[in-house]
Amino acid sequence: MELDPVTEAFYAFAEALASTLGVERGEVERLIVKPPREEYGDYGFPLMRYARARGVEPREAVERVSETLRERGIDWASIELAGGFANLKVDAARAAGRLFKLLEKGWIPGPPRVEEPQVIVVEHTSANPIHPLHMGHARNSALGDALSRLLAARGHRVNRRFYINDAGLQAAYAVLGFKILGLDPLEAAESAGVKPDELVGWVYASTYTAVEAEAAKRSGAPREKLEELALHLARLEEAEPVTGALSRILDYMASSEDPEAEAAKILREVEFRVEPTASLARRVAEAALKGIRETLERLGVSFDAWDWETDLLWSGRVARILEEARRSRFYTRHKGAEALDIPRIVRELVEPDPEARASIKLPRGFEVPPLILTRSDGTTLYTTRDLAYTLYKYEVTGADRVINVIGAEQRLPQLQLRLALLGLGYRREALNLIHYDYEMVNVPGRRMSSRRGIIVAVDEILDEVKARAVEEVRARNPGAPREWIEDVAERIAVGALRFALLRTSAPRPITFDPEKALDLKENSGPYLQYTYARTVGILSKHGPIDYGSADPRECAEPPRRGLMIEALRLPVVAARAADSLAPEDLAVFLLGLADRFNSWYQKESVIHDPNPASRECKAALVELTKRSLEAGLTLLGIPLTPRM
């Protein structure tokens, strides 16, 4: 990929510093910052930190770096020493000349490709196929998809996978419900006129709550507990998609010998593929998945593969890893159950291995508990199956790295998973497995509990934001066709949601206030979409840019220069966001770029400028901004619209 002059200068600067100081290039690249004030330069490196330690005179280092740049033919950038920093300063006029040629050729900004591309699996979303996607999943999808896009743009071969957890206890409750009701999930959803994932979600919550209520009644639970459950059941009955469904489930539980054992029985039958339960389980998961896929499609999130947990069981892969575990020297019994001795793995394999210690962050003063492999009835646990799944992901893709986008609440099992892999001799797989964890999404005033059927659905939020966007778009485009308004409003809703979920770094919890998401103001996805639409509008009024008459020197004027340099930071920002798995860095950068463009545009007229030398130069800057925003937003999975 061809580099713009600013990015080319950045990498040459980094390389020159690295060789001059004898520091690894990656380290230098990481430490280069945008100076706090524009006068200092366009990129700065804290030289004094190294100059002293390496015994290199700062002045001499700057001299050598400048020399290297000249040798490489980069005559549009210079280095200055100031405040202990080596600052790279781009000559805007010369850089603009080179930039115009690129723009004319149709060049699109983007992160430079890495020299050694990897095969990277990104497993994300992987929602239990028993209810619609909720806001937590939306964050997972937004992160997983943005990471995938960034890594792919960086030149890696990315494989996006959705893991269908259809063999767990939660899924068993949904299956149990459908078995009691004698309904085919998809047919029932269709005839009830509800989205299939909603129907499955209702059946799951009702069955789960009914079991709990019956068990509570029999065990003589306190009155408050019974009342609370009765309240939940009343609410579920009100939302009943199939008439009489709840009372049928309740009656069944009332006459069951042991309600709590019912789901366990289903679980067993699914795991060991006992018909007809196994087939019903598939149909339940497929129905839920149909709804989930629709939501994902709305969000613009796609996958390369959908992996069934039951396939891992039924193909014998889980049994195989279980056998390996049993033969392992770390095999043990924990409270009577089959387990892997994680504390011993830590002592024998992690502590003496510096690389493993660095890769696997162990909590201090806390012993990671043994990993239980099977229940006493012989069925496996989630992490046991995930062991098989992780190896499967490596095996079918030849992956160098596997990234699991999974909520922070699963840190402990994900840590156990990596340690277990290490114990079973899969060191490479363990050390290259990344748990990309993120905190929850809180919605004010709404407590979520999918077990009670109380969820804040992605569809619901999207519809809410879209309804508001429809009004806004209609008001601004009187007489526009209805379908066009709908389409634009949908893009705005998706953009608003995805941006809100990406701009905060993953380890911080998000409070998602639908009221504020509806407020399509600055610092939002729609603000970026609006700025993009603005560039498109200006350019279409201006017509084709005549690069021949544009004077590059006109781009050296302070406000124009700043905009140009800023827009040309995109490649480096995107590369860093990809390498450090931090899409929020790109999101924050795009806001700054939009601010800068809007601010500049307020001051200078583009199409009314009578002087072609400056007019075409300014039009080129609008074109550059448009392409940078387009590239950046696309990397984040935020849809664009030329008009809104």
Give the footprint of RNA on residues 328-347 (CB under 7 A): 335-337
Q: Compute the distance between CA of residue 488 and CA of residue 466 in angstroms, rounded to an integer.
A: 9
Site string for RNA, 243-272 (x = CB under 7 A): ------------------------------
Q: Which among 221, 213, 134 has a CA at the least distance from the CA of 462?
A: 134
Q: Please, which of residues 67-96 interact with RNA by CB under 7 A?
A: 82-85, 87
Minimum CB distance to RNA smaller for 192 or for 266: 266
Query: Using the rule CB under 7 A, which residue among 228, 348, 519, 546 binds RNA?
Result: 519
Q: Which is nearer to RNA, 94 or 534 (CB)?
A: 534
Closer to RNA by Cβ: residue 428 or 476: 476
Q: Report how many residues bind RNA under the rule CB under 7 A.
A: 96
Q: Residue 197 or 245: which CB sits closer to RNA?
A: 197
Provide, rounded to whole angstroms, the least separation between the CB of residue 73 and RNA: 25
Yes or no: say if 496 and 138 are a contact pair by the CB < 8 Å rule: no
What burial class does residue 132 get, using C-beta atoms within 10 Å of its C-beta: 0-12 exposed, 13-18 middle, 19+ buried?
buried
Q: Which of residues 126-155 bind RNA (CB under 7 A)?
A: 128
Task: Confirm or reject binding of residue 58 to RNA (CB under 7 A).
Answer: no
Nearer to RNA, 245 or 292 (CB): 292
610 binds RNA (CB under 7 A): no
- d(CA 20, CA 491) in angstroms, rounded, equals 49
534 binds RNA (CB under 7 A): yes
Interaction residues for RNA, span 347-376 (CB under 7 A): 361, 363-366, 369, 372, 374-376
Stretch that binds RNA, among 99-107, 296-304, 348-356, 598-606 (CB under 7 A): 598-606
Specify the stretch interacting with RNA by CB under 7 A; choose among 16-24, 25-33, 201-209, 631-639. 25-33
Show Cβ contacts of residue 278 under 8 Å, excluding neighbours closer than 6 positions: 269, 270, 310
Q: Tell me the window of 36-44, 56-64, 132-140, 179-187 that interacts with RNA (CB under 7 A).
A: 36-44
For Cα atoms 207, 380, 281, give the angle at the middle one, nearest 5 degrees. Answer: 40
Rounded-to-integer distance, Cα 172 and Cα 204, Å? 9
- Segment lying near RNA (by CB under 7 A), choices 381-389, 419-427, 458-466, 624-632: 381-389
**CA 484, chain centre distance (Å):** 29
CB 450 within 8 A of CB 173: no
Kindly state whether residue 533 participates in binding RNA, applying the rule CB under 7 A. yes
How far is the C-alpha of 64 from the C-alpha of 13, rounded, in Å? 11
**Does residue 560 interact with RNA by CB under 7 A?**
no
616 contact partners, CB below 8 Å, separation of at least 6? 545, 546, 547, 549, 550, 551
Is the bond leading into 276 cis (omega within 30 degrees of zero)?
A: yes
Give the HSE-up count for residue 475: Cα atoms under 13 Å, Cβ half-sphere: 6
Nearer to RNA, 30 or 101 (CB): 30
Q: Among residue numbers 401 through 460, which ones bind RNA (CB under 7 A)? A: 408-413, 439-440
CA distance 289 to 301: 14
Residues from 492 through 511 that contact RNA (CB under 7 A): 492, 503-505, 507-511
Length of the chain: 644
Q: Does 481 bind RNA (CB under 7 A)?
A: no
Nearest partner of 170 among 451, 463, 433, judged by Cα:
451
223 interacts with RNA by CB under 7 A: no
Q: What is the rounded CA–CA span in Å between residue 625 and residue 596?
A: 10
Residue holding tokens 């299939």?
A: 196
Residue of the chain from 56, 93, 114, 169 that contacts RNA (CB under 7 A): 169
Residue 482 binds RNA, judged by CB under 7 A: no
Contact by Cβ (8 Å): 475, 489: no
Residues 536-555 that bind RNA (CB under 7 A): 536-538, 541-542
CB of 215 to RNA, least distance (A): 13
Q: Is 297 helix (H, G, I), strand (E, B) or coil?
A: helix
